[in-house]
Structure 1
């Protein structure tokens, strides 16, 4: 009951000290539910064991360690080389070193084109403030103590022959702005470049090799040698015309390179002595031509004078070695000097291979050779020749001048350059054979000289010839050739009927100094040696008593042929003229062929009058220049009449 005192069993009454503790129930309330501890006492949580905690700490630490170790392995082993290479690439800078362009020479080794090495000196204004002179930097035995732009200027001034204060100003930035490539000097000679290199200041001053192409012979062979220019994309020097373009791959060589490191990457200072790799440039090969400079000079002089004296639009001269059929000279009147790039005509090339024209009467030589070779005629065959002749198909042809019927031999027809007589002879040659002989003598195909812009000429297939062309081709009309093609016909006749592809290339000399001759060229026996000798001897009559007497040279037997071809003018009609003379000397031992062509001469249209004298002048010089002795064998001429 409330307020009642509990009893004692021992007979003495004492107050009870036991207190019933209230323990929380499982649900979190209070009451008499079962506690976690002993009944009647409060529950105390057990502390975690130390070993378990240590194991957890060690496990976490191990995981962290493994992570960083794995990361380290990944960085060092997996991507380490890539990172190292990237860092090195950031520091490494490279620049290209130019290859020396090969020379072009004539057959005697005379230089026609060469490259002169020069240097452009530049400064890096960003790195210059870091310059500190070393003990070797002295001037007249006195050490240079100034740093930066002032110190560098003192070192460079005497070498570049400049004022030190002026140089110092150029080496310094302006208003806080710097230029990484300030040009201090251009056209510096190699000796000056060497002195700059010896200063050991490449971290601040650079020298870049440039070349100047020069042509010592000037206008002589300038149209053949060509010129160079810069490639718009690479800024490399490349051939733009003539031999410079035709043999550009050989002349150019292979550029080199130099790699070095800069502290702090591309914008930093070049680390002295840090060159990593140097690939030496390989010089280009030198090209030796078959040209002879002195003969080329004479040819140029001769055609320029011919134009001045005759009022011709232009003139062309070709000199060829009979036996090798190498070209010794190609000259165009008014030729340009390739040193003068301001003249737009520098890109025109040579008319000797670009321009084509009817060979005219010089083409009659092929008809005569074909008729003899096919057994249709001999030099003494007889013909009654009128100044007009009508063919079986009704086409009428006439000679250049009116004349009564003349009794001519085959040799006489050639000597007098009779168109009607030539048609009478050639009409018995089948049409296809006419075309075949023209092609075998080189018409209708490029010469193989390799000059840019060369024309193959115009020679249609025989099956496409109209009724007039089939006869006109017999005397050099109805087709077109270039000057070298026309010249080659006479060299072939003089060479015993053997045609050798014309060439301008004697050989090449590589960087190793070894001369490599030009490849062997194709040869063709166009007509027999007997036929060729007869035609050559027939051509002597042209010079002795025919249309080419102005070509005669004292002491030498000369064989040749005049030509006066009609050309299509600006209005579309046959209003233009190509006057020519092509000849060989000495006829008893043929050495050289010389051809001269004049377009629209005003003083006289006939090749025997305007071109033959130029031939005489140029051939005489060539024979003397090559030390050819006078003719010693005399041979009776073929009869020209009967």
Structure 2
């Protein structure tokens, strides 16, 4: 066979193979397209259609009088499906729509929006986000009336994607206590600790994957979300404000590193204020919860002497306050260390009460050596009996665990007993120290502090919290009597006499503990004052910690005690229960009706009808109304919310007011406390300028 013939045969075979392969491809295409077409279309649709969660509205965090501390306000992103609109509607409205979008957002030209929408329609894209900027509810209502958009989501293609933002009406007040939670479910404070209640249960809806994203399909199978519960706290907004301001001034004055203040009701354990401020380059902010967490767990210093004296009186009840002890010249050798007192050349001979009032380290150490030198385990056993070695089971995550040594530990030294007795070689958080002082004020009953009082679903209480007793009787009545006398003496004659009040009695103890850096004690201090007031009938207990103050006077009595006094003065002035009662005859108004002055028309009408109060709606067509009494009924008057005009929110609840004012792009400042708006700083109906601030007063 010739070479030419051989090559020709090979070419023909290759050509035949290529033809057969091409026929096979055509056959497969025809088979997939026509014979198996329905099958593959079904699979494609299944993969394109999916369920997506619909997030629930997060619950509110409320103060003790139900003022809103944190709430969620709705905002929207605007997306568009340009393929669903009929040609005549699209062509007649696209120019006007592009002009309105350009004017509203103010970032791109009219031609940009026209090209973007037309290109998407031409290429068959079923989802485009028109702008990343979020809009409020009033803007949403406005856009819903624009050309094309007015046809709705099914025929007009407009998609308003709801986004909720967390808003705190009182700004940074109690910011760390309220806390936060991020997208990764990490956070702090009440937002994090009660996230399971606040977040609610997400629903789900059917979405379709399309070029550029996904769009919802409303086919009736969607599951509505169950909105989060509200959390009612024990915090008092006014006392919280006083605590933060007093603490801030003290920190600035002393250039300290951080500070914390806790104010608690003696009988109930309810925390009325919890302030935490840490130093930053820009000043002091709530950067960490020093009152509860590990960073605030420190050696308490002289405030711990109360526990040592309690152990002493329980162990040796024969010890009297008038018994004397020689503290010498202010220097006392214990093993291989020297203990000193604050006064140069020492205090000399002191009574037991004076040892406590003047906070003599040597006096306390000598008493501990005398009565516990051979029974060191007994001393620690008393501390454990007082509950000082256990956590409080506080309602917020992150409570520090107390650190308390035991004679069986390897690091228990010959000086540990005397060091512990004056507040060293152990660690407590401020809240744990306060709970101990509160037990003395509460006649020996140690209770668990609480900061959350109720969990609510609207107005229905789902769960309520009462403080529980941690130690039924922390010590004997005889011991309590001695301790209270000493605590009052500290303010009357001792290290805190600078906060003596002519109006009410204060009982407490100062503390000044040296800090440890690189394993050595340095000339930096953690200063404190813990106590309660009024001393003869305690209503509140309080602790103040100011860490690393700078200046000449850096002792607890000079730095921390004045903060306690300022807060105590304000609390006493506003709490009439601590004053002598004034009797007055109050005549009830039997003709009064339960009237909310303003709010949502639908909500108010439903409420009044459900409780049987007659209402007159007239020709009300607005979403928001005013309510006026009319004989034995109520009359609704329109209260329109106009674009770029200051709305009238007087008489509304705080949440309604925040919702409306936020939608009008106003910066809102809230003052006072209460459920309703008493007055507003901007006149209703006036024009809204850029970055305008409105102040609303609550009653």
Q: TM-score, normalised by structure 1?
A: 0.73
Q: After TM superposition, give the deviation of residue 114 of structure 1 in Å.
A: 1.2
| Residues 539 and 578, structure 2, Cα contact 8 Å, conserved in 1 | no
Does the 8 Å CA contact 2:515/2:526 hold for their aligned counterparts?
yes
2:226 is aligned with 1:282? yes
Which is richer in strand?
Answer: 2
Give the corresponding residue for 2:242.
298
For the pair 1:256 / 2:256, whether they are aligned, the reply is no
Q: How does 1:340-489 map to 2 (within 5 A)?
A: 348-350=288-290, 353=293, 354-387=295-328, 388=330, 396-403=338-345, 406-427=348-369, 428-429=371-372, 430-464=375-409, 465-489=412-436
Is contact 2:199-2:227 (8 Å) kept? yes
CA distance in 1, matches of 2:133, 2:533: 52
Q: Deviations over 1:423-448 (max 9, x none)?
A: 23223133223223333444344333
Q: Give 1 or 2 for the bigger CA radius of gyration.
A: 1
Q: 2 CA distance for matches of 1:213 and 1:271?
A: 25
SS state at 1:554 partner: coil
Sort the Cα spacing of 1:158 and 1:312 in 2 relative to 1 into closer, same or farther, 3 A. closer
Task: Please give the root-mean-square deviation of Cα atoms over the aligned residues, in Å.
Answer: 3.8
Equivalent residues of 2:205, 2:218 under 8 A apart = no
**Which residue of 215, 218, 221 maps to 2:171?**
218
* CA distance in 2: counterparts of 1:589 and 1:517, whole angstroms: 27
Equivalent residue in structure 1 for 2:532, among 570, 574, 584: 584
| Most deviating of 618-627 and 87-96 | 87-96
Query: How many residues in Structure 1 have an aligned counterpart in Structure 2?
Result: 527
Q: 1:514 aligns with which of 451, 461, 470?
A: 461
1:103 counterpart = 2:56:
no
Match of 1:118 in 2: 75
Q: 1:42 maps to which residue?
A: none
Question: What stretches of structure 1 of length at least 5 have no aligned partner?
Answer: 1-74, 134-143, 232-237, 337-341, 633-642
Where does residue 3 of structure 1 map in the other structure?
A: none
Report if aligned partners of 1:98, 1:210 keep a CA contact under 8 Å in 2.
Answer: no
CA distance in 2, matches of 1:444, 1:619: 29
Bigger mean CA offset, 519-528 vs 557-566: 519-528
Q: Is the 2:506–2:533 Cα contact (8 Å) retained in structure 1?
A: yes
Q: Residue 358 of structure 1 aligns to a residue in which SS?
A: coil
Deviation track 1:29-81 (CA, whole Å, cap 9, x = no partner) reads xxxxxxxxxxxxxxxxxxxxxxxxxxxxxxxxxxxxxxxxxxxxxx9xxxx9x
Deviation of 1:97 (Å): 1.7
Secondary structure (helix, strand or coil) at the match of 1:573 reads strand
Report the CA distance shift for 1:529/1:508 in structure 2 as closer, same or farther (over 3 A).
farther
- Write the distance in 2 (CA, Å) between the matches of 1:441 and 1:389: 31
Query: 2:217, 2:244 → 1: CA distance?
Result: 55
In 2, the alpha carbon distance for the partners of 1:206 and 1:405 equals 79
Deviates more, 1:622-631 or 1:551-560: 622-631
Q: Is the 8 A contact 1:227 1:346 kept in 2?
A: no
CA drift of 1:531 comes to 2.3
Greater mean alpha carbon deviation, residues 570-579 or residues 320-329: 570-579
| Aligned partners of 2:261 and 2:276 also within 8 Å | yes
1:594 equivalent to 2:535? Answer no
Deviation (angstroms), 1:377: 4.1
1:572 aligns with 2:513: no
Tell me: CA distance 1:326–1:408, structure 2 relative to 1, closer, same or farther (3 Å).
Answer: same
Residue among 192, 205, 211 paired with 1:245: 192
Aligned to 1:132: 86
1:220 CA drift (Å): 1.6
Equivalent residues of 1:310, 1:603 under 8 A apart = no
Partner SS state of residue 578, structure 1: strand
Change (3 A) 1:198 1:441: farther
Deviates more, 1:212-221 or 1:397-406: 397-406
1:514 and 1:148, CA in 2 relative to 1: closer, same or farther beyond 3 A?
Answer: farther
The 5 A counterparts of 1:468-547 are 468-510=415-457, 513-518=460-465, 520-524=467-471, 525-547=473-495
Counterpart mapping for 1:139-154 below 5 A? 145-147=89-91, 150=94, 153=97
The equivalent of 1:613 in structure 2 is 562
**C-alpha displacement of 1:365:** 0.6
Q: Give 1:513 shift.
A: 3.5
| Residue 588 of structure 1: how far off its partner (Å) | 0.7
Per-residue CA distance 1:8-47 (angstroms, 9 max, x = gap): xxxxxxxxxxxxxxxxxxxxxxxxxxxxxxxxxxxxxxxx
Q: Distance in 2 between matches of 1:292 and 1:503?
A: 13
CA displacement 1:232-268 (0-9 Å, x = unmatched) = xxxxxx45222211111111111112237x7xx9679
User: Would you say 1:172 and 2:118 are equivalent positions?
Assistant: yes
Which string of whole-angstrom CA distances, capped at 9 and with x for unpartnered residues, describes residues 72-122 of structure 1?
xxx9xxxx9x99986874674543321111111222212111111111111
Calculate the TM-score normalised by the size of structure 2: 0.67
1:527 match: secondary structure: coil
Tell me the distance in 2 between the aligned counterparts of 1:577 and 1:268. Answer: 59
CA contact (8 A) 2:292 2:398 kept: no
- Structure 1 residues 159 and 85: CA distance shift in structure 2, 3 A: farther
Q: Return the offset for 1:604.
A: 0.8
Q: Hey, what's the Cα distance between the residues in 1 that align with 2:443 and 2:450?
A: 19
TM-superposed deviation, 1:221: 0.7
In the TM superposition, residue 183 of structure 1 has moved relative to its aligned partner by 3.2
Q: Is the 8 A contact 1:349 1:452 kept in 2?
A: no
More deviation, 325-334/282-291 = 325-334
Q: Over residues 449-468 of structure 1, what are the superposed CA-to-partner deviations in whole Å (9 max), with x where a residue is unaligned?
A: 35454422422223222111
1:496/1:530 contact within 8 Å kept: no
Contact 2:232 2:453 in 1 (8 A): yes
**Is this contact kept in 1: 2:302–2:513, CA < 8 A?**
yes
Contact map agreement 1:213 1:228 (CA 8 A) in 2: no
Q: Hey, what does 2:628 align to over in structure 1? A: none
Deviation at 1:613, TM superposition (A): 1.7
After superposition, where does 1:265-280 map in structure 2 within 5 Å? 275-280=219-224
Match of 1:201 in 2: 153
Instruction: Say which SS state the counterpart of residue 568 (structure 1) adopts.
Output: strand
Q: 1:147 offset after TM fit, Å?
A: 4.5
Give 5+ residue unaligned stretches, structure 2: 1-34, 582-699
1:624 and 1:593 mapped to 2: Cα distance? 16
Residue in 2 that maps onto 1:28: none
C-alpha separation in 1, matches of 2:171 and 2:200: 24
Once the two structures are superposed, residues 162-219 of structure 1 have per-residue CA deviations (whole angstroms, 9 ceiling, x without a partner) of 8976644332226965653323464222344467397432462222111111222222
Q: Is the CA contact 1:93–1:266 (under 8 Å) kept in the aligned structure 2?
A: no
Deviation at 1:592, TM superposition (A): 0.7
Summarize the Cα distance change of 1:266–1:625 in structure 2 as closer, same or farther, 3 Å threshold.
same
Q: Distance in 1 between matches of 2:390 and 2:216?
A: 60
